[in-house]
Amino acid sequence: MIDRRAFLTFLAGSPLLAAFPDLPAFAQATAGGLEQAAHALDVFDFEAAAQKLVPPAHWGYLMSGVDGEATLRANREGFDRYQLRPRRFVNVSRIDLSVSLFGQTYSSPIAMSPIGSAGAFYADGEKAAAAAARTRNQLLMLSTQATFPVEDVIKARGGPIWYQLYTTNNMDVTRRLVKRAEAAGCPVVAVTIDTPNGRNTVTATRLARTDTRQCSACHKDATGDRFEPRRGGNLGTKPMFAGIDTQGVTLTEASLTWDFVKRLKDMTSMKVVLKGLESGEDAGLAVQSGADGIIVSNHGGRSTETGRGTIECVAEVVAAVRRRVPVLVDGGFRRGTDVFKALALGANAVGVGRPYIWGLAAHGQQGAERVLDILNNELRLAMIGCGATSVKEITAASLIDRRKA
Ligand SMILES: Cc1cc2nc3c(=O)[nH]c(=O)nc-3n(C[C@H](O)[C@H](O)[C@H](O)COP(=O)(O)O)c2cc1C
């Protein structure tokens, strides 16, 4: 007798899916071959499942880097530079993962980075991510490009979230976005400054060309272009732009310089965090300009090509900041040991992007929760291995830099 479950699992993992457009129904039935979120052993199990479930154009949007994707690869490869230095006979019977950021305590230093259009991967998108952040008490940052309005996402989180701001070419529109996030109760605005003027997401474009579905099914104003929703091209359909005349409005503004930090601070009572720095010089300028925090980020390998992995940028940023403001980092974090390394280099917290989206795509809220649980548990094990019982006890003494060893 054929085992139905084994058959469905086989089908879900089979290249047959590409040849027969109706077969994704089978993948859906088996959640991409991962029947229960709890079965996942690491975050890559969710990646494999999500790939079977997410249509090619949306998968390309999620996974793309820019150009030849050297920076995207560097984000992962950078972790190999560092090794852990275990310690023994420390009482590690209790491990405290909690951290505080701007007066708010979270159950671990793992945050959910802003991902635009999360509804492209799971219908409840950012609301389901927020529900996972609620049950696990993790920090969530909401994209300007979110599928749901900030008010709804705060409700699903049952507490404050950070608002990720994309500047626009119209300061009045930018101000309206900021004021709306502030009125909704966001304590922090994280302004993304790493993509001032365009990018070339080759993988996204290539995969979109293979997608036979109608773009208009997802993109209300689709013109037939098979690119990721163009920057500023469909702002009117994004909830955060509701009630705003988006005619002529484009996302990000190439002419902005450091004085924008003061303008933003004058505009809002929220803490202002800059997302997208990679150098000590810029970190110093950020603090000098009044930034309340820094997120070391290369946009998940989606901004400047042939840059360093973000983990390799942490030490110089931390040195320049001299503990005056918190430093977060994201880009390629897939293991608890990755997180541990960033904390040992002096970061206060770490963001993950794609992994929780893989979780959402495969199993909705439960999938995102499982991703957080896996990463938190791996971090806990790394702390045990290195004899650190709290996040504060994670120091450079636990790390070997192969370049210096
Ligand atoms: C599909 C996708 C959409 C993203 N959208 C945004 C966004 O709207 N705003 C933003 O500041 N960063 C955005 N990012 C960058 C993430 O916030 C984060 O920096 C990056 O994903 C971290 O790398 P990781 O995905 O390797 O964990 C996006 C990244 C991806 C992959």
Q: What is the distance between the alpha carbons of residues 47 and 160, in angstroms, rounded to a whole number?
A: 28
Pocket test for ligand 1, best of 115, 153, 350 (most atoms within 8 A of CB): 115
Band (3; pLDDT cuts 50, 70, 90): low
Task: Please give the C-alpha separations between residue 360 and each of 59, 215, 272, 305, in angstroms, as whole numbers.
Answer: 13, 22, 28, 28
Which numbered atom of ligand 1 lies nearest the CA of 275? 11
Indicate the pLDDT class of residue 8, thresholds 50, 70 and 90.
very low
The predicted pLDDT at position 78 comes to 98
pLDDT of 31: 87
Residue type, 116: G
Tell me, using a 6 A CB cutoff, whether residue 246 lines ligand 1.
Answer: no
The whole-number average pLDDT for the span 326-331 is 99
Nearest CA, atom 14, ligand 1: 115
Q: How far apart are CA 398 and CA 4, in angstroms?
A: 48
C-alpha of residue 114 to centroid of ligand 1, in Å: 6
Least confident range from 174-188, 227-241, 327-341, 371-385: namely 227-241
pLDDT tens-digit series, residues 37-80: 999 999 999 999 999 999 999 999 999 999 999 999 999 999 99
Q: Is the CB of 353 under 6 A from ligand 1?
A: yes
Rounded to the nearest angstrom, the distance between the alpha carbon of 115 and the centre of ligand 1 is: 5
Q: How many CA atoms lie within 13 A of 260 on its CB side?
A: 21
Contact 78, 332 (CB under 8 A): yes
Query: Tell me, what's the pLDDT at 6?
Result: 53
Could you tell me if 329 and 295 are in contact, meaning their C-beta atoms sit under 8 angstroms apart?
yes
- For residue 301, how far is its CA from the centre of ligand 1 (angstroms)? 9
The atom of ligand 1 lying closest to the CA of 113 is: 17
Looking at this protein, which amino acid is placed at residue 7?
F
299 is catalytic: yes
Please tell me the distance between residue 22's alpha carbon and the centre of ligand 1 in angstroms.
31
Which residues are bridge partners to 223 per DSSP? none
Average pLDDT over residues 358-383: 98
Question: Burial letters for 343-362: b for 16+ Cβ neighbours within 10 Å, e otherwise?
Answer: bbbbbbbbbbbbbbbbbbbb
Return phi, psi of residue 222, to 5°. -55, 140
Q: Does the Cβ of 199 fall within 6 Å of ligand 1?
A: no
- How many C-beta neighbours within 10 Å does residue 81 have? 17
pLDDT tens, position by position, 86-138:
999 999 999 999 999 999 999 999 999 999 999 999 999 999 999 999 999 99
360-385 mean pLDDT? 98
Cβ of 385 below 6 Å from ligand 1: no
Q: How many CB atoms lie within 10 A of CB 323?
A: 9
Cα 103 to middle of ligand 1, angstroms:
25
- Please state the atom number of ligand 1 nearest to the C-alpha of residue 354: 25
What is the pLDDT of the chain when averaged over all its residues?
92
> Does residue 116 line the site of ligand 1, with CB under 6 A?
yes
pLDDT at 2: 45
State pTM to two decimals. Answer: 0.93
CB count within 10 Å of CB 341 equals: 27
> pLDDT of 129-154, one tens digit each?
999 999 999 999 999 999 999 999 99
Whether residue 377 has pLDDT greater than 90: yes
Ligand 1 and 61: CB distance under 6 A: yes
Residue 83: strand, helix, or coil: strand
The two three-digit tokens of residue 195, written as one number:
């993509």
- 33-37, 217-221, 228-232, 242-246: which has the minimum mean pLDDT? 228-232
Contact 295, 273 (CB under 8 A): yes
